[in-house]
Structure 1
């Protein structure tokens, strides 16, 4: 059967997405499904069953990454890998990452419906802890699989309640083996919602992603001195929150001097965190992103110097801790060409663009030719319950994924 006749079943896919959205469902339609929680286990169990129903060979690696393999006519060849993640933010939406996994499942279901065989095997993957909302940093599953992170470092990660990654993996029953990791990958494709406004503002149906901008995550701890708020005069206080506020204000003003730099202080914690005590400690995160590695590093170094100088002037004590330092990635031209051909086949409008957010494709790009497909996000919102992509855009994105997968899975090589 000609691949030009291959069409996904959008009603089936949307039903699968809605069934996923019931697991960890929040009042306003979003999802809270943090990595290795009970909700994550329920979702994994359901996904496992879907893989079985699709006739796939299932395996789990030592980081809990889940794979479903569809055999090829030449099964000894390296597979085409497709997928993303099923974990969410604490107040996440029902498409971020999830579309990439369930869209990949729809590709397999469509190939099965059409009894369409491919030369190469195709594997679906659900990566563990892409979000980094429970265990930091983000993308631990894909980073560990590609040896960006060491195995022991990942398994020893703890969440804010002191729960250990490896123990939680065993608790939910998804600790697999190292031999089950994806190896000798022919190519990797990840379908994802854009999570920003560019496609919608440009009235484009598809984003063909050229790469992912670099990122730093930093945590700053400010030390003060606790005291009773009713008895310690203002002039004698060492208020950690006040000092942190001064630092945060300076951070944002410094960032404004760098074009295209994106920065956010997304998490703040204070101690002892009671209404009638001066804070003795304040911790806050800094998320820094820029498409140019040199610019990002120059800003990060200037930031450190500025914070250190302020601590001397203000008589503060601070500690700066690096959580993540991720380089800008550029995707493979031959994969980008395959995606563009698929988009043009369907006559969809498109935009060549870079991803502002990090994704599992960032680490897969280190071990295999990689590409990403974006679809629009309504109002550009994500990591919240209001996250939304329309069914028509989802259908277009998965059609492009399907055509690209068929093309790649029937290629001898990428030259």
Structure 2
């Protein structure tokens, strides 16, 4: 039993037409007109295979295939279909369409599943829409960690709060209604493009994920004093020099923690950004990632960063600031998300049986799956990304590669949805 690449291609290409920036990548923001168009198309595809369709108050779309044991927990499979601004046609969509195709094959072959199956299609995964640490909305609503505070405070690029955008879309978000009961989901399965170069570089068909990294994000600010480039060196309060000293010390201290954690200052904004004036202000963004749960419990990264900033303030006689970019109701950094090890082994066997090359890998990107690991057993499948790029018009994954990932998903679903 296998999926069909041509149907996966047709679905993905059709979804790519629902964009507010034709010719400039795919822009399908949460709760937009394009979101609704894509959802309506997906609903029509779901109707063709007789799924029981329902939508929760956060806009999450479900398609249920009943099992012999109607009251049993569901095996849930899917991903998101929203995109960043000027994004690509594969991030999220590849997983959504692969899951749809799996359900299509099961329908056509009259597969008899003991556990109910539910296709899940999410429309608010991307954090870009409402700002850092505001994504994975659908999954957070399902597990009960979404808050009224976030709904009423974070805003999109049009100035709407999340609540206002959802209500204009036709939703009346209800935190209690959207929350799934503990034990109601047996497994959560997600296929996704890798968003990295490893699988393509090593010519591997399928990535089987063992961990998703814990993530910490921070903003640092340095307030110096602008001056002409002729001002003597000793009289300067150069914000960029101070920021550079911070970066060197931060890099040194993160390296001393060992290979289980990474960290960097990956973005700087400098004012005035000129060779003629001493920089008076620098803002930087820090990102920390780790696959080590213990290090997030043992190390207070906020204090580590603040201590370095305090030392820099004293040495360079400038003011500094630290702001945490944290998801409401979650620690910063978050803990790593651990996939179900038994199912990784099952997928290894599936890949061998199908003749697909595979690699068991860890990956640092964030997905709805990372939210679900505290709620149920979770597994992820990655398929190669051309040149490792994503979130841009050049994003691409060959359809035959998605088909191979979908085949692995299909056989895993068949296994998990039947009694031992």
Cross-structure match for 1:316? 318
Cross-structure match for 1:290? 290
Cross-structure match for 2:329? none
- Given that residues 228 and 278 in structure 2 are in contact (C-alpha distance below 8 angstroms), is that contact kept between their aligned partners in structure 1? no
User: How far is 1:65 from its partner?
Assistant: 2.2
- Given that residues 237 and 316 in structure 2 are in contact (C-alpha distance below 8 angstroms), is that contact kept between their aligned partners in structure 1? no
- Does structure 1 residue 165 correspond to structure 2 residue 144? no
Q: Deviations over 1:97-141 (max 9, x none)?
A: 111111111111112222323222111112343221122313232
Q: Deviations over 1:334-388 (max 9, x none)?
A: 3223322322221211111112212111111111111111112222222222222
Cross-structure match for 2:365? 357
Cross-structure match for 1:61? 56
> C-alpha distance in 1, partners of 2:310/2:121?
41
Cross-structure match for 1:3? none
> TM-score, normalization: structure 2?
0.84
Q: Deviations over 1:160-187 (max 9, x none)?
A: 6542111111111244544354441011
- Given that residues 92 and 385 in structure 1 are in contact (C-alpha distance below 8 angstroms), is that contact kept between their aligned partners in structure 2? yes
CA gap of 1:27–1:162, structure 2 versus 1, over 3 A, is closer
Cross-structure match for 1:75? 70
| 1:14-33 equivalent positions in 2, closer than 5 A | 14-24=9-19, 30-33=25-28
CA gap of 1:256–1:48, structure 2 versus 1, over 3 A, is same
User: How far is 1:271 from its partner?
Assistant: 7.5
User: How far is 1:233 from its partner?
Assistant: 6.0
- Given that residues 65 and 116 in structure 2 are in contact (C-alpha distance below 8 angstroms), is that contact kept between their aligned partners in structure 1? yes
CA gap of 1:131–1:254, structure 2 versus 1, over 3 A, is farther
Cross-structure match for 2:139? 142
- Given that residues 61 and 175 in structure 1 are in contact (C-alpha distance below 8 angstroms), is that contact kept between their aligned partners in structure 2? no
CA gap of 1:230–1:182, structure 2 versus 1, over 3 A, is same
Cross-structure match for 1:133? 128
**Structure 1 stretches lacking a partner, 5+ long:** 1-5
CA gap of 1:111–1:364, structure 2 versus 1, over 3 A, is same
Cross-structure match for 1:101? 96
Cross-structure match for 2:177? 179
Cross-structure match for 2:345? 337
> C-alpha distance in 1, partners of 2:112/2:358?
29
CA gap of 1:342–1:244, structure 2 versus 1, over 3 A, is same
| 1:178-327 equivalent positions in 2, closer than 5 A | 178-183=176-181, 184-223=184-223, 243-244=242-243, 247-248=246-247, 251-252=250-251, 255=254, 258-259=258-259, 261-266=261-266, 282-295=282-295, 298=299, 300=301, 301-324=303-326, 325=332, 326-327=334-335
> C-alpha distance in 2, partners of 1:88/1:145?
20
Cross-structure match for 2:385? 377
- Does structure 1 residue 88 correspond to structure 2 residue 86? no
3-state SS, counterpart of residue 186 of structure 1: strand
**Structure 2 stretches lacking a partner, 5+ long:** 327-331
**Segment drifting more, 237-246 vs 324-333:** 237-246
> TM-score, normalization: structure 1?
0.85
**Segment drifting more, 294-303 vs 337-346:** 294-303
RMSD value, Cα: 3.2
Aligned length: 405
CA gap of 1:91–1:233, structure 2 versus 1, over 3 A, is farther
3-state SS, counterpart of residue 110 of structure 2: coil
> C-alpha distance in 1, partners of 2:340/2:199?
21
- Given that residues 144 and 154 in structure 1 are in contact (C-alpha distance below 8 angstroms), is that contact kept between their aligned partners in structure 2? no
User: How far is 1:238 from its partner?
Assistant: 5.8
Cross-structure match for 2:396? 388
Q: Pick the aligned partner of 1:124 from 119, 125, 138.
A: 119
Cross-structure match for 1:12? 7
3-state SS, counterpart of residue 360 of structure 2: strand
- Given that residues 214 and 291 in structure 1 are in contact (C-alpha distance below 8 angstroms), is that contact kept between their aligned partners in structure 2? yes
- Does structure 1 residue 403 correspond to structure 2 residue 411? yes
CA gap of 1:41–1:286, structure 2 versus 1, over 3 A, is farther
3-state SS, counterpart of residue 168 of structure 1: helix
> C-alpha distance in 2, partners of 1:180/1:142?
9
CA gap of 1:349–1:34, structure 2 versus 1, over 3 A, is same
> C-alpha distance in 1, partners of 2:390/2:307?
33
- Given that residues 19 and 34 in structure 2 are in contact (C-alpha distance below 8 angstroms), is that contact kept between their aligned partners in structure 1? yes
